[in-house]
Amino acid sequence: MLLCLVSSLVALSRLLMEIESFYLEKLIVCPELARNDFYITGESYAGHYIPAFAARVHRGNKAEDGIHINLKGFAIGNGLTDPAIQYKAYPDYALDMGLIKKTDYSLINKLVPVCEFAIKLCGTDGTISCMASYFVCNTIFASIIARAGGINYYDIRKKCEGSLCYDFSNMETFLNKKSVRDALGVGNIEFISCSPTMYQAMLVDWMRNLEVGIPALLEDGVKLLVYAGEYDLICNWLGNSRWVHAMQWSGQKEFVASPEVPFVVDGSEAGVLKTHGPLGFLKVHDAGHMVPMDQPKAALEMLKRWTKGSLAEGGKAEKLFAEM
C-alpha cells in the first residue's frame, strides 16, 4: 500500500511528461506545426493537468528550453481545479437546484469546515495527507447523492444508468480501431473509458489546488477560458465560477466588476459570459458535465470565437441591440 501511495505522488508530474513528450514527438515528425498557435483544452479532471501542462510549456518557452511551443491559451470545461472552493460550493449548488432540502443543507454544510481543514493539510504539492482529504471531503458529495435519489451527477436532469452513468462503448470501439491508434501513434495500447489504475494513481493529487500556477500565465497574456454546463453537479458551474472570481491576479477587480453578457449562437442565448483581458468564464445553458456532447454547436462556436479572440462579440452586440 505504501509503495502505491509513494508512486502516486508523482502521478501528475509523470502525466505532464507523457503529454509533453507526445506533443514534442509530433513536432519532430511535423516541424511545420511549431509555427501554429497552440491551445490546450480539456474537461473534468483535466482541470488539474491542463493548467499544470500550460504552466510547464510556458516555463519552457521563457527558459528557451527545447522547441518553442506557440502557447496562446488553455481552456477548462467543468473542471476540478481548486478543490477547497469547489467542494464548499456543493451544498449551495445542490440546494439551489432542488437536489436537497434546507434541513439537509444545514447538516451537509457542517462537513465543509472539516473538509477545508483537510485540504489545507494537503496543500499544493500532493502528499499522503491529500489521500485522507479526498475521503474526508467526498463525504459532502456522497451525502448529496444519497439524498438526491439516483441522479446522474454529470447531468442532474437524468438518472444514472450504468457504472459511469453513460454508455461509452461506441467511443471505446472507435478509439481502439487500428487506424485510429496508428493515427494517434499509441501503438497497441487499449483505450478504456475509465481506468481504475489511473484513478487510483490520481487520488493523491485530487485535492491539490492547481489554480496557483494560473495567474502567472494570465499576467503574460496567455488566455484562459473556463466553461461549465449548468446541470453538472460533480464539477458544477457555481464552484468553477467562485474559484475563477477568487483568483488573485492584476485584473481580478476588473474581472469581478465586468458585466455578464449573453453568449448568443444562431440568435439564441446559449450561455452567460463574463470576460476581462485574457480571462473568460462561460456558463453554458442546457448542458451537463460534457458540454460538447450536450451542446455541440455552442461548444464549437465557443472554441472558434475564443481562439479568434472574438468570444464576447456576439453577446455584446445582442445586449446593445436589446438596450436600443
Determine the 3-state secondary structure of 265 from DSSP: strand
SS3 state of residue 68: coil
Instruction: Say whether 104 is catalytic.
Output: no
Grouping H, G, I as helix, E, B as strand and the rest as coil, residue 189 is: coil
Q: What one-character DSSP code corresponds to residue 191?
A: P
- Is position 289 annotated as part of the catalytic site? yes
Q: How far apart are CA 3 and CA 149, in angstroms?
A: 38
* Helix boundaries (H) for 9-127: 11-29, 46-62, 83-96, 102-109, 112-122
Distances in Å between the alpha carbon of 316 and those of 35, 60, 129? Answer: 32, 37, 46
Q: Residue 319, class by beta-carbon neighbours within 10 Å (0-12 exposed, 13-18 middle, 19+ buried)?
A: middle
- Which amino acid is residue 43, in one-letter code? E
Query: Is 223 within 8 Å of 302 (Cβ atoms)?
Result: no
C-alpha cell at 283: 456558463
The catalytically annotated residue of 232, 241, 258, 285 is: 232
Cα separation, 110 vs 87, in Å, equals 12
Contact 157, 150 (CB under 8 A): no
Residue in 13, 44, 92, 286 annotated catalytic? 44
Q: Does the annotation mark 44 as catalytic?
A: yes
Cα 138 to Cα 124: distance, rounded to the nearest angstrom: 18
Active-site residue (options: 48, 58, 285, 289): 289
Active-site positions? Answer: 44, 232, 289
